[in-house]
């Protein structure tokens, strides 16, 4: 395996920019899809079509299905099923439902808290990723940003907007558990595309029957063309293609560099929300987003270490 680069070149920055656009656009696509379909149906279609797209990619590139050459394939598929719950079903459903209550811009900002939650989850569940002063400081700054977005007054009553915000934050927490749990896949020897396909495929297996029973999507009117376009974009571009780029970026530049996408997704999603959905960007949202970004930078530590090195050189 080729080791990850210590710095990002033009190719890696290009992949990061593409990933920012794909994941940032997912919030816009969700907003449009919700105009014609209920929550569970949107998510079930997203994971099903993404699984189909990744399956075709594996066939074309000659990659085998997960567990084909493994001694204990059932163990691999059980792990993929849990990843499907933590990384797809729970967060996708929470974010999509949350966007029925809040704007896509606000959802994208709150979703950027995932690395903050990951610090605590990793501290509790791992032996080698404990809290450090810089990580704790970054988390505290980030969560001050979250409180400034939600607003102390919102906590006085359980309004629909507050519940939507809490749903997106719960999705970020689920992603954090997924990140920590995903470390075990290194030992399982799965290729990135196999892991991506396996988790969305298992998510589809679990969610499609539930969506059919609960939403009864076939009993309603046929959605408009824009809804189908949004679903295809959400599934094939913002999920299947985005996974492929994300894992490629991790392989080329490392997981830490790939995590920089967390800082750029809200900018893209907010821009799309304002341009195409007429959403308002409040000052509190901008202030909160800035604090979350500062918290992530402090938590990451690389920029601060670079400044310290610069001071020593001078």
Name every residue whose Cβ is closer than 8 Å to that of residue 222 and which is 6 or more positions away in sequence.
Answer: none
* DSSP symbols for 170-186: HHHHHHHHHHHHGGGHH
- Is the pLDDT at 5 greater than 80? The verdict is no
The number of beta carbons lying within 10 Å of the beta carbon of residue 123 is: 16
Is the Cβ–Cβ distance between 239 and 46 less than 8 Å?
yes
Three-state SS annotation for 40-109 = HHHHHHHHHHHHHHHHHHHHHHCCCCCCCCCCCHHHHHHHHHHHHHHHHHHHHHHHHHHCCCCCHHHHHH
- Is the pLDDT at 255 greater than 90? The verdict is no
pLDDT at 305: 63
pLDDT band at 84; cut points 50, 70, 90? very high
pLDDT at 156: 56
Mean pLDDT calculated for residue range 4-18? 80
**The pair of three-digit structure tokens given for residue 79, joined into one six-digit string:** 């792990």
Contacts 24+ apart (CB under 8 A), 250-253: 250/4, 250/192, 251/1, 251/2, 251/4, 251/192, 252/2, 252/4, 252/5, 252/11, 252/12, 252/15, 253/4, 253/5, 253/8, 253/12
- Is the pLDDT at 184 greater than 80? The verdict is no
Identify the residue with better confidence: 50 or 128: 50
- Is the pLDDT at 155 greater than 80? The verdict is no
Q: Measured between alpha carbons, how far is 10 from 55 in angstroms, rounded to an integer?
A: 29
- Is the pLDDT at 106 greater than 70? The verdict is yes
Mean pLDDT estimate for the chain = 89
């Amino acid at each position: 395996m080729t080791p990850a680069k210590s710095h990002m070149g033009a190719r890696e920055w290009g992949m990061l920019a593409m990933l920012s656009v794909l994941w940032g656009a997912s919030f816009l696509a969700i907003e449009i899809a919700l105009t014609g379909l209920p929550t569970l149906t949107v998510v079930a279609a997203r994971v099903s079509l993404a699984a189909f797209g990744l399956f075709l990619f594996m066939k074309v590139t000659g990659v085998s299905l997960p567990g084909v050459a493994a001694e204990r394939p059932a163990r691999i598929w059980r792990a993929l099923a849990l990843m499907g719950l933590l990384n797809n079903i729970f967060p996708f459903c929470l974010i999509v439902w949350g966007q029925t209550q809040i704007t896509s811009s606000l959802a994208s900002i709150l979703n950027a808290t995932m690395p903050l939650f990951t610090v605590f989850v990793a501290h509790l569940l791992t032996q080698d990723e404990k809290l450090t002063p810089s990580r704790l400081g970054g988390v505290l700054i980030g969560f001050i940003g979250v409180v400034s977005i939600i607003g102390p007054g919102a906590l006085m009553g359980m309004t629909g907007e507050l519940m939507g915000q809490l749903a997106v934050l719960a999705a970020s927490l689920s992603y954090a558990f997924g990140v920590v749990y995903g470390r075990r896949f290194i030992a399982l020897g799965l290729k990135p595309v196999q892991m991506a396909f396996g988790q969305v495929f298992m998510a589809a297996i679990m969610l499609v029957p539930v969506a059919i029973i609960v939403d009864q999507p076939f009993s309603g009117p046929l959605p408009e063309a824009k809804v189908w376009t949004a679903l295809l974009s959400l599934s094939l571009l913002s999920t299947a293609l985005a996974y492929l780029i994300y894992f490629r970026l991790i392989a080329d530049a490392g997981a830490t560099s790939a995590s920089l996408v967390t800082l750029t997704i809200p900018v893209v999603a907010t821009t799309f929300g304002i341009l195409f959905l007429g959403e308002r960007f409040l000052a509190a949202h901008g202030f909160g987003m800035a604090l979350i970004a500062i918290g992530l930078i402090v938590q990451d530590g690389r920029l601060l270490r670079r400044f310290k090195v610069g001071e020593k050189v001078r």
